[in-house]
Amino acid sequence: MTKPAFSFEFFPAKTEQGHEKLLSTYDELNKLSPAYFSVTYGAGGSTRSRTLDIVQALCARGDTDIAPHMSCIGDDKSEIAELLDLYKSLGISRLVALRGDLPSGQVDIGELPFALDLVKFIREHSGDHFRIEVAAYPEMHPQARSFELDVDNLVNKYKAGANASITQFFYNADSYLYLRERLEKRGIDTVAQPLVAGIMPITNSSNLMRFADSCGADIPRYVRKQLADFGDDSKAIREFGFEVVYRLCERLISEGVPAMHFYSMNKVEPNKRLIEALGLVHQ
Ligand code: FAD
């Protein structure tokens, strides 16, 4: 069976110390030979300089592809065009294109209100230079008017030029498989334009619940209940979390998932452990 490709997501650190630590995390995870690392971006430009700093530092550090995330809500086309040109000049050839969520208090949605508009704009401005990944939601985006309209939106993003999509994290493999089937029925060739599984390792109960609530990801009851039972026993949470995510990945691999994108949370251990246990490291 072909092993899926894998990649890691980082978020920009807030302090100089955090930035240095992230570089050493990169060095450790890079030894596993991932396909690429992506770096998140705060919508409305809230992490613009920090995202740029870490993207530039990572580009200078190794030869693994770096994929900056770009969001469009709240930004002008001119700001986005400037960033695209800068990324091109840095030798970047891959982007994760998102709408983003406006920081609270900010109301101006800007000239490109949806990720679909951003994908179209990138293709207009930069042609086929960038490989574009977009976001996908196996359990539906929380603001979508219906599941069907959310699938329409994803199909439209592929048709506008997205090369692949990366899912929000999920712990129910059937939700991923169902979305993949829906895309295929809508004429998307998921071999040529893959649906990449977004994988969130479980290491901390309260953070996980917070993320899940904010992005509409479902934590199955058997997971939620046991995490609650473990209280602050972090070792028990890590062991149980490893088992849950390992099983999820195993199932996805057996179902032919083409690639997995790990929400690394800027950590080495939980990601490395999963990748090694799943036998994903290419010799
Ligand atoms: P869209 O695809 O534009 O969809 C947003 C919502 O609008 C959906 O509910 C959709 O159904 C609906 N919609 C689409 N078109 C229309 C229309 N014409 N009329 C009405 N409704 C419509 N956020 C960040 O700020 N920075 C990041 O770096 C970041 N990285 C992410 C990486 C991944 C892999 C994922 C899955 C999410 C990431 N996010 C990030 C979060 C993302 O920005 C939010 O989920 C955001 O709310 C939606 O972004 P989107 O690109 O999916 O938007």
Question: Which one of the listed residues 9, 28, 79, 181 is annotated catalytic?
Answer: 9
Topology of the domain covering 5-277: TIM Barrel (3.20.20)
Q: Could you tell me if the CB of 160 is within 6 A of ligand 1?
A: no
115 CA distance to ligand 1 middle (Å): 6
Cα 62 to averaged position of ligand 1 atoms, centre (Å) = 30
Atom nearest to 98 CA in ligand 1: 51
What is the reported pLDDT for 62?
85
| Average pLDDT per consecutive 10 residues, the chain (283 residues; last block may be shorter) | 93 96 98 98 86 96 95 94 97 97 83 97 98 98 97 98 98 98 98 98 95 95 97 97 98 98 98 98 75
Q: Is 112 in the pocket of ligand 1 (CB under 6 A)?
A: no
Task: Indicate which atom in ligand 1 lies nearest the CA of residue 134.
Answer: 51
CB 140 within 8 A of CB 170: no
Test site for ligand 1: of 99, 111, 154, 155, most ligand atoms within 8 A of the Cβ: 99
Q: Is the CB of 272 under 6 A from ligand 1?
A: no
Residue 136 CA to ligand 1 center (angstroms) comes to 8
For residue 49, how far is its CA from the centre of ligand 1 (angstroms)?
A: 22
Global confidence as pTM: 0.97
144 Cβ below 6 A of ligand 1: yes
The predicted structure's pLDDT at residue 283: 57
For ligand 1, atom 51, name the residue with the nearest CA.
98
Residue 157's pLDDT is what?
A: 98
The closest-lying atom of ligand 1 relative to the alpha carbon of residue 137 is 36
Report whether residue 38 contacts ligand 1, using a CB cutoff of 6 Å. Answer: no
Residue nearest to atom 8 of ligand 1 (CA): 144
Token pair for residue 238?
A: 């890590």
Q: Please calculate the CA angle 204-266-237 and round it to the nearest 5 degrees.
A: 20
Query: Among this protein's residues, is 239 annotated catalytic?
Result: no
Q: HEC profile for 168-233? A: CCCCCHHHHHHHHHHHHHCCCCCCCCCEEEEECCCCCHHHHHHHHHHHCCCCCHHHHHHHHHHCCC
Cα 72 to ligand 1 centroid, rounded to whole Å: 10
d(CA 81, ligand 1 centre) in Å = 20
Residue nearest to atom 53 of ligand 1 (CA): 99
